[in-house]
Amino acid sequence: MPELTTNVRYVKGIGEQRAKSLEKLEIRTLKDLISYFPRAYDDRRTFKKIRDLEEGENACVEAMVAAPPTLNRIRAGLELVKLRAVDETGTLDITFFNQTYRKDSFQAGETYTFFGKAEAAGRRRAMANPIVEQEGGRLVTGRIMPIYPLTAGISQLMLVKAMEQGLAACRTLLPDPLPDEVRQEHGLCRIGYAYEQIHFPDSEEELAIARRRLVFEELFLLAIGLRRLRGRRDQLTCAPWENTDLTGFYGQLPFDLTGAQRRAIEDIRADLTAGRPMNRLVQGDVGSGKTMVAAAAMVCAAANGKQAALMAPTEILAEQHYKGLAPLLEKLGIRTALLTGAVKAKERRSILAALESGEVQAVIGTHALISADVAYRDLGLVVTDEQHRFGVGQRGALAAKGERPHLLVMSATPIPRTLALMIYGDLDVSVIDELPPGRQNIDTFAVPGSYRQRIYRFIEKQIAEGRQAYMICSMVEENDQIPDDRKAAAEYAKMLQEKVFPHLHVACVHGRMKPKEKEKVMAAFAAGETHILVSTTVVEVGVDVPNAAVMVVEDADRFGLSQLHQLRGRVGRGSHKSYCILISDNRSEEARARLKVMTQTGDGFKIAEEDLRLRGPGDFFGRRQHGLPALKIADLTCDMALLKEAQGAAMELLERDPELISCPATAGRVEEMFSSGVEAMN
Ligand code: ADP
Ligand code: MG
């Protein structure tokens, strides 16, 4: 008797060779096979008489082959098999291109079902390369056909046949991860039926029923898994902090905070006084003013006699935060220090001593903050900026230097709400969805490389008007390796300096430079001494040079949309009209569609949503950065309503039965789903 774990070779027609090909699709067992869902469907249910076929219509025709097929060799590489089929209403001329075997696969006088796109020529009808089946057959005609993603050595027909056998063998053996009462309460069909109909739907309605159930199941399991991760955290307690009067802090600011900033700060204050360690994500578009939100939290820490640490992913960012925050915090009597790899040994020793004694209450730095020899007297708040750049381990290592400190994560990658709900199921989320007043649109253009001369002239003009420009040359991280960006950036800068802008100052900054050098280059750019800064993505985040008004990105198609959005956020930070020019010679439809999104909107959330739609959640953050189990069927951009319903059901179940004792099949599936890559979320 076959079981779910039986090897796919059990299926007739699947031998060693094909089993190997199927492995590329991660199909090894019968269970894998029937869990391989179609990516689309082809509705082949319409039957027509020949006379009624309309031009361009897809339909099945039952017709008799009137005479043996003929083979015509038009030229090398083009062979036509032609045949004439008839029914009582008319004649259908059928042509197969380069399918020579068709010549011998028809019997004159026999009736077949042909499915294809009809062409009309006067009273006659024609079809090219139709799908063919013996009369009365219902394998590939007369039904809604599943379309599977394929790999070399595997055809649709082969998969369809295998799927039928697989379903017949073990459809009834599938354990249902949805508890019966959940299934009934939410009007969801049984799992066996869902599997059958998702592959071979009897109708659109039945397909919708199957799909709804499977999507629900997936989201339900995801929600349970995430909730359990979070549950572990919720059991932690800590002494609640006193609420802090922030009037003095607000009074120091040269501007009024936006409503969104204030809301985020209120969320944080509520967390800090709740008696549980905070675990909050503050998400806001580039330039939305997250730093001040972090600063408010740091003020709260100091007021409660606790230390706060803010960790940034790059030296440049850490220094910039320090320069922005230290004067503000110091004015409020909070001793603030900067700790990066660039700090000299002697100074470092004194900072470490001051951290250990508690004399320094706020420290801003890079991962230098988590070096083994850094000790804090009482670290109560850990802020990480641009969190997706940190490994989870790094965040954890900083937190481990305190005793259950409050955690605040700031992300400039706008995440569609649906996805945020899922990925950060274990974090609370505050969204800063409002930019400070007076920001202007950045005019964005996507152009081919042939525009380069024009772009250079445009840059010159802008510089003549007193502005500065960034030029980014792309270096995409591949296979978790940081590429050697030094050469690309340096050579590009040299070329620009010598050949294009001999009378201007071109500088270059890249990831392999010593921090001191980097700082010098950045400082010169910030001071307006250099006109053009060539850089790699290494400096994409956070840098603030209000006079820069042009951002040029080479090979723009190689960046994620959210990354491009980050890069674009480097300009338009002052009062000057700003421009972003995306250069790409990639003519593929996808690349063009993606760049077009950039030219059409400046809304980071919309861009993220588009990115998600075009690339799928798996690629959204790049493989390393999200810890989301791969979703087979649920589409997080579309299934929002169902997501909420599934989440509600998951919470109810966990309330009733937190350990899932009553439903081992649910527990088992959650375990399976979360067995890989999920630590990444905590
Ligand atoms: P991000 O969210 O990208 O980290 P920043 O915190 O760097 O944004 O803020 C971007 C710029 O906006 C900074 O120059 C900051 O001083 C300024 N800023 C922040 N909040 C406000 C506000 N409420 N009104 C005006 N300017 C603000
Ligand atoms: Mg920032």
In-domain check, residue 658: no
CATH number at residue 254: 3.40.50.300
In-domain check, residue 191: yes
State whether 508 and 581 are in the same domain: yes
State whether 125 and 65 are in the same domain: yes
Q: Mean pLDDT across the stretch 58-79?
A: 90
State whether 121 and 178 are in the same domain: no
Residue 182: which of 636, 647, 634 has the closest Cα?
647
The answer, yes or no, to whether residue 171 has pLDDT greater than 80, is yes
Ligand 1 atom 15, closest CA: 289
The answer, yes or no, to whether residue 485 has pLDDT greater than 70, is no
In-domain check, residue 626: no
> Given 561, 591, 616, which residue is the final one in a domain?
616
What value does the mean pLDDT of the chain take? Answer: 85
Q: How far is the CA of 543 from the centre of ligand 1 (A)?
A: 12
292 contact partners, CB below 8 Å, separation of at least 6:
253, 257, 261
Ligand 1 atom 26, closest CA: 436
Task: Tell me how far apart the alpha carbons of residues 46 and 44 are, in angstroms, rounded to a whole number.
Answer: 6
Structural domain including 534 reads: 442-616
Site to probe by mutation for ligand 1, drawn from 249, 250, 252, 255 as the one with most ligand atoms within 8 Å of Cβ, is 255
Q: How far is the CA of 286 from the centre of ligand 2 (A)?
A: 7
Ligand 1 atom having least distance to the Cα of 290: 2
Radius of gyration of the chain (CA): 31
Task: Tell me how far apart the alpha carbons of residues 442 and 435 are, in angstroms, rounded to a whole number.
Answer: 14
State whether 300 and 355 are in the same domain: yes
Q: How far is the CA of 435 from the centre of ligand 1 (A)?
A: 8
Question: Which ligand sits closest to the CA of 282?
Answer: 1
In-domain check, residue 652: no
The answer, yes or no, to whether residue 181 has pLDDT greater than 90, is yes
Full DSSP string of 162-198: HHHHHHHHHGGG---SS-HHHHHHTT---HHHHHHHH
State whether 64 and 103 are in the same domain: yes
Per-residue pLDDT at 345: 92
Q: Mean pLDDT across the stretch 351-376?
A: 93
**What are residue 470's phi and psi, to 5 degrees?**
-105, 140
Q: How far is the CA of 286 from the centre of ligand 1 (A)?
A: 9
The answer, yes or no, to whether residue 618 has pLDDT greater than 50, is no
Q: Grade residue 616 by pLDDT with cuts at 50, 70 and 90.
A: low
In-domain check, residue 377: yes
Task: Tell me how far apart the alpha carbons of residues 280 and 278 are, in angstroms, rounded to a whole number.
Answer: 6
Ligand 1 atom having least distance to the Cα of 438: 25
State whether 304 and 424 are in the same domain: yes
Q: Mean pLDDT across the stretch 391-395?
A: 58
In-domain check, residue 531: yes
State whether 342 and 285 are in the same domain: yes
Question: What is the CB < 6 Å shell around ligand 1?
Answer: 255-258, 261, 284, 286-292, 412, 436, 544
The answer, yes or no, to whether residue 223 has pLDDT greater than 90, is no
State whether 121 and 205 are in the same domain: no
State whether 395 and 447 are in the same domain: no
State whether 160 and 184 are in the same domain: no
In-domain check, residue 675: no
Instruction: For tokens 């470092």, name the residue.
Output: 348
Q: How far is the CA of 328 from the centre of ligand 2 (A)?
A: 16
In-domain check, residue 357: yes
Q: What percent of the chain has pLDDT over 70?
A: 87
Q: 504: which DSSP letter?
A: S
Per-residue pLDDT at 475: 58
State whether 369 and 320 are in the same domain: yes
State whether 406 and 462 are in the same domain: no
Ligand 1 atom having least distance to the Cα of 256: 23
Q: How far is the CA of 557 from the centre of ligand 2 (A)?
A: 24
Count up the domains in the chain and report the number: 5
Residue 27: which of 218, 193, 192, 163 has the closest Cα?
163
Ligand 1 atom 23, closest CA: 257
**How many CB atoms are closer than 10 A to CB 188?**
23
